[in-house]
Amino acid sequence: MTALKYVFLILLGLGAGVVISGAVFAFIAIIGVVPRLAMKTKTENNIKLYEEAIIAGGIFGAFTIMYDYYIPIGAVPVIILSTCIGIFYGCLAVSLAEVLNVIPILSRRTRLYKGIKYFIAALALGKAAGSMLYYFVDGFYFI
């Protein structure tokens, strides 16, 4: 009876993980992060590689949540990885805001026309700085 319970829990967890990850990847596809980044960087021929990298990152992220492990890679790779994570979350937030037309409405209401690129860059740099603080300052948590 106990083995059947564990099999049921494993299947339930696996099914829930598949549904949630499918929803997250569908959300990323709907807001168009990958094609927009490829278009802006003029690397449209690498879209397949970008999509595979996002899927591999999702799988790697799931394993990091499930298993407790430590890889001693040093501070420089951690800084690079944290920067990449911050860039991804910044791009995701800006893409979502663009889909929801937050930035055009905000620029009209605040009459901010000339410096909008600096505003977007400040948002991305702020997100990266917050990620760095979270990972490198011991005991620093966002409330």
Q: Could you tell me the residue ranges of all domains in the chain? A: 1-68, 70-143
| pLDDT tens figures, 84-138 | 888 877 777 777 776 667 667 777 777 777 877 787 788 778 877 877 777 777 6
Amino acid sitting at position 7: V
Check whether 17 has a pLDDT greater than 70: yes
| Each residue's pLDDT tens digit, 25-61 | 777 777 777 787 788 788 889 888 888 888 888 788 7
Which carries the bigger pLDDT value, residue 142 or residue 138?
A: 138
Q: 142 falls in which pLDDT band (50, 70, 90)?
A: low
Q: What is the pLDDT of residue 66?
A: 77
pLDDT at 90: 78
Q: Say if CB 51 and CB 34 are below 8 A apart.
A: yes
Q: What is the Cα Rg of the chain in Å? A: 19
- How many residues are present in the chain? 143
Q: Is 118 helix (H, G, I), strand (E, B) or coil?
A: helix
The DSSP symbol for 68 reads: -
CA distance 49 to 45: 9
Report pTM: 0.51
